[in-house]
């Protein structure tokens, strides 16, 4: 039988995986919380999770959090966008999320980057490239978050339930 602490830890880890594909849900911190709940609160009779694995899972969770918040911005910068454009894109995507849902994040970011880069005097091709890089970065960061949080969940299950 699974104790309450293990169930809560698993619930947080699953929420981290689900949150990796939902906007505004902190996937990495949820995964970290699941691991730490188990590590600090599991009863002595529960299978141990070594400190080294906990540290590794926490680092992966923190890296996931960084990917979530920096992926689109770094891709935007790689595509040639100005720093002020990245800030504007973040504000636009957040505002349009409440109007169009998750699609608003992608569309709002692309339109904001394209418009800001054109306003800054860039050629249409350069502005479109910056917008494209930004959208690809947003989508790639979502995929990376999913893979990273899923790896923490799989590792946790492996080391707590299987080994």
**Structural domain of 20:** 4-162
Give the pLDDT of residue 105. 85
Long-range contact pairs involving 44-49 (C-beta distance under 8 Å, separation at least 24): 46/3, 46/5, 46/6, 46/160, 47/159, 47/160, 47/161, 49/156, 49/159, 49/160
Identify the helix (H) or strand (E) that includes residue 129: helix 124-157
Dist. CA 25–CA 109, nearest whole Å: 18
For residue 109, give the nearest of 146, 142, 62 by alpha carbon: 142
Q: Number of structural domains, the chain?
A: 1
Distance (Å) of CA 117 to CA 31, 74, 110, 159 = 36, 16, 11, 49
pLDDT at 132: 93
Specify the DSSP class assigned to residue 42.
S
How far apart are alpha carbons 139 and 131 in whole angstroms? Answer: 13
pLDDT at residue 2, as a whole number: 64
Low-confidence ranges of the chain (pLDDT < 50): 1
């Amino acid at each position: 039988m699974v104790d309450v602490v293990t169930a809560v830890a698993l619930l947080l880890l699953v929420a981290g995986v689900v949150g990796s594909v939902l906007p505004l849900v902190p996937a990495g911190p949820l995964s970290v919380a699941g691991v730490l709940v188990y590590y600090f609160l599991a009863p002595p009779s529960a299978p141990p999770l070594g400190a080294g694995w906990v540290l590794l899972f926490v680092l992966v969770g923190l890296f996931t959090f960084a990917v979530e918040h920096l992926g689109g911005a770094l891709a935007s910068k790689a595509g040639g966008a100005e720093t002020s454009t990245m800030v504007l894109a973040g504000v636009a995507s957040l505002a349009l999320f409440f109007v169009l849902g998750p699609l608003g994040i992608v569309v709002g970011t692309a339109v904001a980057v394209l418009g800001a880069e054109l306003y800054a005097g860039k050629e249409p091709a350069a502005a479109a490239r910056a917008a494209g890089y930004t959208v690809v970065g947003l989508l790639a960061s979502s995929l990376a978050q999913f893979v990273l949080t899923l790896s923490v969940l799989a590792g946790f299950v492996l080391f707590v339930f299987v080994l």
